[in-house]
Structure formats: C-alpha cells, structure tokens
Amino acid sequence: MSNLKMENVELINVCSIGSNDQLLKAVQSNDLDLFKKLLEIGLGNSSIDLDSIFDEPYHGTILDICCISTGRSEFVRILCSVGVDVNVINKNRKKAPIHLAAANGCKDALEVLLEHPPTNINLLDSDGNSALHLAAKSGNAECSELLLNSNNIKANQLNRKGFTPAYLAATSKKKNDELMMAFIRCPKVDLDMFIWDKSLRSVIEEKYPHLSEEMPPEGTRNITHHCDNPFVYLYSNDIEGFISHITSTKQLDLNNHDGKHTYLQYACDFGLPKVVQVLLNLDVDPNGICPSNTKYAIFIASFRGFADIIQLFLNSRKCICYQTSNSTALLEVIKGSDEDHNSLDVNTDLCDHERSFKMLLRKSETNPLELNINQSDDKGNTCLHYAAKIGDRDSILSLLEKGAYIGKRNVLGDPPLADISPNILESHLNKCIKSNGKSPKDINYEIICSYNFLCPPKVYKQKDIDNYQSQLEGLEYIPENIPETDPLLYISEVPELRPLLKHPVLTSFLHLKWFAIKRYYKVNLAFYIGFWALLTIYTLLTFKIGGQNSNLSLTQNNITEFSTNSVPFSCDTAVYLWVMVLGFLIALIFRELFQLISSPFTYIMSLENWLEISLIVLTSFLLLRDMSCISNRNQISAIVILLSWGELILLVGRHPALAIHLEMFKRVTKNFLQFLVWYSILIIAFALSFYMLFRNDADTDNKFNYPSSATFKTIVMLTGEFDTFGSLPFSLHPIVSHALFLLFIFLIAIVLVNLLNGLAVSDTQAIRADAEIVAHVSRVKLIHYFEKMALGDPFSWTRKAQNHVNNYGYSIPSVCTRRFYLKIRLFPDALQDSEIKILTNQRNFVDFGSSTKKSQIGCIANCQGYYLEKEIVNEAKSIIKLNSEGAEKSCMEILDVFIEKFKTVEKSVEEIKKMLNAMNTRSEIDSISSSSNFHVLNGSYKS
C-alpha cells in the first residue's frame, strides 16, 4: 500500500515537471506500465507534448525514438492509439517514423505502423526515398518483404536520383540473396524497367547470375515506363517533355512531390518559368507544399530572385499566399539578395533580386492585406532589419518610403535603427519633407511632413466584401501596442543618431506628441505642487508645536492642547491641514498604484518612483503614527521635506524649457559619484592614517578618536574646511603628521578637487553645446514614459501570465488605460494619413488632412487648432530648398555625363573618319601605282 502511494506521488511530481523527459526514461527502461500511466496523466493535464523534439542525440519525437530500436512495438501501438500523427516528417532527420523503422530494420515497429490505417506507406523523405527504398538500401530482407506484401505499396517508385527500391537492392555493395529474392518473387516489381538506359533484369543478372533462373520470363510483367514519374523529366531538364506529359496525361496529381519539392516548388527553386506558367494555368495548388519542404513556391522563387516567375504569380488569378506568420515573399527576396545561388542546376541567369524586390514592394503597397511590409519572421526580423544588416541603401530608402516601421524590435530587442547609418536615415528624413508645388508666396502654400515610418505596424480587420477597394476603405486600423515615441527613444540613446532629433520631421512629431500630453503633465504638476505646499506647511507647523508639546500627532485628542500653545495657527487650521494633506496623500497613493498596475517593470525600474514611494511611506508615518519621541519626529520631518522638494525639482525639470538645467545637475552628480567611487580608496586611506596619527582618547572633542568619525572629518576636509590649528593635534607626531597633511592637501584638496571642478565644467559645457538635443531627449523620455504607462507592461511574458488570469480580449492594464492612451496617441486619429500639412502663410497652421472629417476620438480634438513653431518651419523650408538644389544638381550631373559620353562618341567617330580617309587614300595610291605598273608592263610587252 505504501509503495502504491509512493508511486502515485512520483507520478504526480513527474508529470508536473519534465513530463516528456520522464516519458523518454520509461521508453529507455522498457517500462510499458509507467509509460501508459505517464501518458494518461500527461494527456489529461496537457503536461505532455507528443510532438516535442528531443535534443541530441535523438533529434526526434517520442514516436521517432520508439521506431529506431527493436522491441518497442507496444510503445508505438500505444502512441498510434492516442492519435499521434505518424506521417509527420522530422525537421532534423527529414524522415517520418515509417522511414526510421525501415532504415533501422525495426520489423516489429514497422508492422504496427502498417496496421495503423492513417500510415502512408509510400511517403517520401527529403531524398525522395520511400520506406521500401530505405529497407532495400539497408539490406533488410524482412522489412522489405513486409512492405512488398502490403496492398498499396508502389514497388517501382523512383527516388530523386531515379532509382527504384529493387535497383538499390541489386546495386548494393553487399550481396544479399534473400533480399534480392524478395523483389524477384514480388509480382509488383517490374524487372524489365529501364533505369539509366539499362534494364533492372540485366543489372540483377550481372550481380546475381545464379538467380537468373528465378526471374520470370521477360515481358510477363507490366512494364513501367519512366515517364510515369514526371519528375524524371525535370531531373533531366527536359522541360518540353514534362509539359507535354502533364498536359496530355489525365487524372494526374499536379500537387505530387518527390519528398523535397512539388512540381511547382521544383520549378521555382531551379528557375523554370515555362513550367510555372503551365502549372498555374492548370489545376495546381499555388500554395502546395510537401512534408519536408514547407516553403510556399512564391517564397522559393522570391529567395532565388526569379523575377519572371514572380511576375507569373502576380498575374495569376489564383489565391496565392504571399505571407505567413513567420515570413513573407518580400522578406525572402531581401534574404536571398545576399546569398550565393550558383548551385547545381539553378538557372542563375534569371536571378534579378532588384526587380523582384520592386515588384513585391508594389504588391505590398497596393495590397497590404496580402503582403505586409512590417511582417516579421520567427526571429522577429522584418524586411527593414535584413535590408539594414545587408547595408543596401536603395532597399532601405524604398522600404522607409513605403511605410516600413523603424521601431519594430526583434527577439533580441534590436530595431532596424541599430544597423541603419545616420546618413541613410537623414536622407530619408529629408525626403519626408516636401511642398504642394505652389509658390511659397501663395496663401495656400503647404509644407508636407510624412510620418509613415514612425507609424506602428498596422493590423487590419478584413471585411466580407468582394470589392477589394471597398475593403480597404472600410478597414479598421488597430495599431500595435507600441509607444509611438519608441523609435525616438532609441535614437536618443544612440550617440550617432541623437543629432537627428533636431531634424524638423522628428522635432515636429515631438511637438505634436507634447501638445497631446501637455495638459496631463500640467494637471499632474499642479496636483503635486498642491501636495508639496500643504505638506511643507503642515511639517513646519507640527515642528513648531513639537517644540512645546510632548504629543505631536495632530488628532482630535490633542486639539485642546494645541489651542493652549502660542502657535501662529489656530486649532481648526491645523486639523484642516491634516485632513487636506491626508486627502492629497491618498490621491498620490492611487496615482502610484495606477502606474504600478499599468506597467510594473517600468515603474519599479524608475529611481524617481522609489523616491515617491519613500515619500509616501514617511508621510504616512508623519500623519498617522503617534510619535512621542521628538527626535524621531524631527528626523522624519527633515527627510520628508527633502524628498518632497527633491521630487518637485525632478517633476518641474521634466518640462522641456527647464530640462537643460536638470540634465546638467543629474549628469554632473552621476559623473562625480563615479569619479569618487574610484578615488574613495585614497580618501579612506588618508582617513585611516589621520586616525592613527591624531587619535587621543584623553581629548573627548577629538574628531579622530574613531575610524568612522575620522572618515567623516576627512570627507568634510575635501571642501576646504581644514581647521588646521583648531582640531588637528600635530604635536603628537609633528614630522609625520605635517608631511601627511601636506600630502593630503596636495593630492586631495588641490589635484582631486580641481579634477572634479574640471569635470563639472566640461560636462556643463557639453550639455550647453547640445542644449537643443538635451531638450528633445528630455521630451522624448517624458512622452515615452506617459505612453508606456498607458499601454501597460511591455514585457511579453507578463502579458502571457495575465492571459492565464484574465480571459478577456484586453489585459488588465489595457482596460484601465485604454481611454487615456486614445487621448494621447496620434496614429490613426490625428494622423490617419500619417502626415501633416503646414500652411506657412497662415501663421504655420497645421492641417491634419482627412482625419479631421473622420475621427474625433483621440488627440485630434486637441490638435485642430495647432500652430507649429517658426523655427521648425524655417528648418523645413531650408531642407526643401536643399532638396530642390540637389535635384537640379543631380540633373546637371546626369547631363554632364551624357555630354561627356557624347564627346567620347564624337571623338571616336572623328577617329573612324580619319581612319576611313586614310584607308581610301591608301587604296587610291595603290590603284594608281598598280595601273602605272600595268602600263609599264604593257609597253614592255609591246616592245
């Protein structure tokens, strides 16, 4: 009984932790009963994944492992009974369980698989081998005979090399009469079939002459022509023969495969546009795949860069899948553009990745439902990621122009910006600014700023409408939960990209975002200023009362006592202050809880939030605790005042106008601390030295009697407060103490302090030199913090955990903050067209385009009366002028190139003329000389 209980406990623990591993152990130990129990419990609580692939050395599923060793047929039978898919091709081994059983000679497992009806006995692996091919190749007569006796076996099936199972058995290095006899006796085997211009019968007679009499007479069995397998035409590059065969043969499965390719996949992989055209015109599935190659044909053609084949797909009326959850045809083109395609039989003459890219990019622009430019692969990389890694300037600019999002992060957390050079990004930003073509003096002259590259990836909800144009017009745009300033935050963190924040495109976008959240910032600031003022007054009041009363808590019990003291406030005022401060404190607690619930990790990682938590805790003690100890109350009051005023500085310093001063303070403080951490070794060394030299227990006022006080005194001496002749007893050790003290003055008071001063000056000058960038960075951080709080936790695993708790469509933070986020976002409410129009001759009024007529939900209600700053508009004008000059310059350069080429051609023509003239002159001279010689000879002849 106790053993049974222990077994049950072990099963529970096993199935809760590492269930798949325990299942493997049960198989290895041949413990069938434990295997059944584990399987029953694991499937019941979903703790077992039978499709999970084990690591080295197995590289397969639990069924694959059971099929590679004999004696595990019952395990295979149980797995088949619970519905495991037996026809799945292993991604690592490229083989199915039936292939593994046949190749490893596991007759018992193979027998169980053949008894299981869903098993495909003719399933091909990646080399085009069936289970019979592998059994014959391994020389296993029992498995081969078992397969040959099956009803649906294709005994004469060719693999990708054009060999039948019988041919592999006959040409094996080791002779195996039993295996060969199994094929000879099977009536399904065509012994007169020709393989590579030689019949199978002749091959057997050469290798096994003693078995010639066992073979039936020639012609007694049906002859299987090689043309029964259309892949043979493709292998031999007989395109016309393949087309003729598939068009003339009735009831041919055009989606058949050879284990690695379907017909369409093969044509797309090796560059056969004629075959693709014929197949698309016939009843072929354009999205057909085979078990070992799950790439769509359009993906294969795109990776190779076969533009002609891609054009055939684009022109086809069939329903073609241009993207999946982990790849797109456009992404495959960019991946393949950096690969070497000079492999065997690939028609590299047709490779044109540039043309393929342009065609698919147009497809993405006209039909974003079918081909999304921002779709990522299994690594989280988008088209822009790969284009940036390759460094293809033209592709990067084309993708950005069509709306590729620069802030999409991959699984490593890197956006495309990580690999885009500042020059390329600046070129794109310059292209994002243009005019409406009217004269700058015209009242309707507009400067257009495009922000499509900053627009978070679009998620469309397709409607059941036949007309595609109607679908696009009625689509609902749901932006991903990404802060709109996320790309700008990354730019602000990278020193090479940070100067681009001064570009008018990014600056104007920042101003729009600031305008959207400004009122919330002001409300938050006003709320805190009220809390700070009341808390300061209350703290000072209680400090005054604390000097005259032993009980310092402002409660109803001591109001009478307060009233008897000479306090500059009345009793009622004190109570009112207590109630108001408590009310503000409760509101502050709710504000912090709101931020904590919305985005826990963002909240916890902020040092300012920890300052606020400390302030809340200490203020609560001050208000609600009855502290009879004046000393404790005064200490807490001092800390509360310092924290509240410090928080006020940080909160006010968030404003862009004051960001420079706060940034200088923070940077100098940070650098000072980093600097002093290293040199603290020297300071402590001097402190301990002074303790050893100046210690005098008889003098109770001596600051160097203890190491702690000596260290404190030494740190104070850094500021120049030496008090040399007052508190330093040089008389104890006159020579050493004076020498050590002078050394301290030189190294610490002169060298170190001046280093710190120089460090502060250099930091301050650097910040002032980049004052505009510092202001932009501060604004980006503030806006991004607001957005992050509104969007909820950015970490995916937290969202997954919430999904187990909350079964609704939105996570808890999203429900709490969705309305707030709608108020501060720009896409798609304010910027439905992802651009703004600035009317420069109408006080720089910003026109938000068609969105003003379509949406009044978000910040568009606040932004309708927005006027852009003059400095930004002037910068935009200068860029437009620069773009026009650049266009004219490029046209002039092109014209100069043509002129130079024309001059070269003209020179060549002149030289040719001279050569022709010289040749004509020479020919005339030769003709004259020949005629004169003729006359001379004629005269001599006559004489």
DSSP string, 169-219: HHT-SS--HHHHHHHHH-TTS-TT-BSSSSBHHHHHHHH-GGGGGGSPPTT
pLDDT band at 52 (very low <50, low <70, confident <90, very high): confident
Q: Above 70 in pLDDT, residue 74?
A: yes
3-state helix, strand, coil in the chain (%, to 5): 60, 5, 35
- Would you state the pLDDT for residue 102? 93
Handedness of CA 873, 879, 881, 884 (dihedral sign): negative
pLDDT: which is higher, 146 or 213: 146
pLDDT band at 808 (very low <50, low <70, confident <90, very high): very low
**Amino acid letter for position 433:** I
User: Residue 351: phi, psi to the nearest 5?
Assistant: -70, 120
C-alpha 622/C-alpha 615 separation (Å) is: 10
Percent of the chain with pLDDT over 90: 28
pLDDT band at 148 (very low <50, low <70, confident <90, very high): very high
pLDDT, average across residues 612-625 = 89
3 state DSSP class of 405:
coil
Give the least confident one: 55-64, 511-520, 563-572, 594-603: 563-572
Compute CA distances 643 → 609, 638, 649, 718, whole Å: 12, 9, 10, 26
Summarize pLDDT for 483-528 with one digit per residue, the tens: 889 999 999 999 999 999 999 999 999 988 888 888 888 899 999 9
pLDDT band at 812 (very low <50, low <70, confident <90, very high): very low
Total Cβ atoms within 10 A of residue 807: 6
Burial class (CB in 10 A: 0-12, 13-18, 19+), 399: buried
pLDDT: which is higher, 418 or 701: 418
Angle of the 571-598 helix axis to the 607-624 helix axis, nearest 10:
150
Give the least confident one: 61-65, 464-468, 486-490, 697-701: 464-468
Q: Which of 368, 429, 358, 363 is nearest to 398 (CA)?
A: 358
C-alpha 833/C-alpha 164 separation (Å) is: 62
Strands 327-328 and 845-847: unpaired
Compute CA distances 345 → 241, 256, 310, 924, whole Å: 17, 21, 19, 58
- Would you state the pLDDT for residue 564? 34
Summarize pLDDT for 870-881 with one digit per residue, the tens: 888 888 888 888
Q: Above 60 in pLDDT, residue 161?
A: yes
Cβ contact 587:527 at 8 Å? yes
Q: Above 80 in pLDDT, residue 376?
A: yes
pLDDT band at 548 (very low <50, low <70, confident <90, very high): very low
User: Residue 835: phi, psi to the nearest 5?
Assistant: -160, 160
pLDDT, average across residues 563-588 = 70
CATH topology of domain 2-222: 1.25.40
Mean pLDDT (the chain) is 80
Classify residue 901 by its DSSP letter: H
- Cα 333–338–343 angle (5° rounding)? 90
3 state DSSP class of 476:
strand
Cβ contact 492:841 at 8 Å? no
Q: Which of 169, 181, 95, 102 is nearest to 136 (CA)?
A: 169
Give the least confident one: 148-152, 323-327, 392-396, 546-550: 546-550
pLDDT, average across residues 635-641 = 89
Total Cβ atoms within 10 A of residue 745: 15
Cβ contact 790:817 at 8 Å? yes
Compute CA distances 823 → 118, 512, 515, whole Å: 56, 13, 11
- Would you state the pLDDT for residue 551? 43
Kindly state the tokens that stand for 550. Answer: 């032993």
Kindly state the tokens that stand for 542. Answer: 């209680």
Cβ contact 701:686 at 8 Å? no
Contacts of 568 (CB under 8 A, 6+ apart): 544
Kindly state the tokens that stand for 873. Answer: 């508009």
Summarize pLDDT for 767-792 with one digit per residue, the tens: 776 778 888 888 898 888 888 877 76
C-alpha 312/C-alpha 304 separation (Å) is: 15
Q: Which residue has the tokens 């040719």?
A: 912
C-alpha 266/C-alpha 272 separation (Å) is: 8
pLDDT, average across residues 395-410 = 92
pLDDT: which is higher, 846 or 280: 280
pLDDT band at 813 (very low <50, low <70, confident <90, very high): very low
C-alpha 290/C-alpha 260 separation (Å) is: 7
Give the least confident one: 76-85, 183-192, 543-552: 543-552
- Would you state the pLDDT for residue 528? 93
DSSP for 582-595, written as a single string: HHHHHHHHHHHHHH
C-alpha 356/C-alpha 321 separation (Å) is: 16
Summarize pLDDT for 733-770 with one digit per residue, the tens: 788 888 888 888 888 888 888 888 887 777 777 777 67
CATH topology of domain 263-431+457-493: 1.25.40
pLDDT: which is higher, 287 or 708: 287
C-alpha 89/C-alpha 292 separation (Å) is: 6
C-alpha 100/C-alpha 472 separation (Å) is: 50
- Would you state the pLDDT for residue 886? 62
Is the bond preceding residue 273 a cis peptide, omega within 30 degrees?
no
C-alpha 815/C-alpha 481 separation (Å) is: 13
- Would you state the pLDDT for residue 628? 63
C-alpha 463/C-alpha 475 separation (Å) is: 7
pLDDT, average across residues 404-410 = 92
Q: Above 60 in pLDDT, residue 288?
A: yes
Contacts of 163 (CB under 8 A, 6+ apart): 133, 171, 195
- Would you state the pLDDT for residue 277? 94
- Would you state the pLDDT for residue 256? 87
DSSP for 423-456, written as a single string: HHHHHHHHHTEEE-SS-TTSTT-EEEEE-GGGSP
- Cα 796–800–801 angle (5° rounding)? 120
Kindly state the tokens that stand for 86. Answer: 């037996």
Cβ contact 431:401 at 8 Å? yes
Q: Which residue has the tokens 């607001």?
A: 786
Classify residue 750 by its DSSP letter: I
C-alpha 683/C-alpha 687 separation (Å) is: 6
Cβ contact 74:30 at 8 Å? no
Kindly state the tokens that stand for 576. Answer: 């009112």
For the chain, what is the largest distance between any 2 Cα atoms, rounded to a whole number of angstroms? 167
Summarize pLDDT for 411-470 with one digit per residue, the tens: 999 999 999 999 999 999 999 999 888 888 889 899 999 999 998 887 655 544 444 444
pLDDT: which is higher, 679 or 353: 353
Give the least confident one: 161-170, 259-268, 892-901: 892-901
Compute CA distances 612 → 600, 607, 608, 618, 785, whole Å: 15, 9, 6, 10, 16
